[in-house]
Amino acid sequence: MASTGVSRLLKQSVSQASGAWRHQAVLQSRCFFGVPGMPLPNIALHKGFPPEKIMMGDYCKGKKVVFVGLPGAFTPTCSNKQIPGYLAKEAELKAKVVSDVIVFAVHDGAVMKGWSEAQKIEEGSIMQLMGDPKGELTKALRVQLDDPRVMEVLGNVRCKRMSMLVDDGVIKTINVAASEDDPAGNDHPEVSLVEKMLEDL
């Protein structure tokens, strides 16, 4: 009888612990929705190659940081509008106390480094191009670009065209350029461009 009672207690304890773990996991996952008021997930982006892995949640503490998520390196809208626009307004962004503009895409650090060099981003600029090679930050923010029409061209799941303002590790605004007819935001990227971000600031 004593043995049966101990066994029952052990099973009950394991069940309670498992339930508590599941509850904690749910709470944590809810924190990862890409919506204003939620903390930025503490997920690493890759800078350079060999990559330096930078934990974004830690990096953004005590800072005002702009994130720009893009579908693909060297693609026309990203290279001709998005990055040049933010570069041209760097002084205005600094005046609004923005410490960094982090451009990321589902690529490895080497691709993003090459793209940065092609865009002539100079040392000391607040612009940084980083890779999200496994799409972990993209998934955590719920901004996966998985439309079959886009994947037919780009090959795999990418990041939607978006911009996001993070202040002291907390998401303040998030803007996604996507519609049924324009899932990659190529034709109408306006909400993710620097002009909209300056309004948000």
Catalytic residues: 78
Give dist(CA 135, CA 65) in Å, integer: 20
CA distances from 198 to 52, 130, 158 (A): 29, 22, 25
Give the type of residue at 69: G
**Residues 143, 66, 51: CA angle, nearest 5 degrees:** 75
Q: Write the burial class of residue 70 (CB in 10 Å: 0-12 exposed, 13-18 middle, 19+ buried).
A: buried
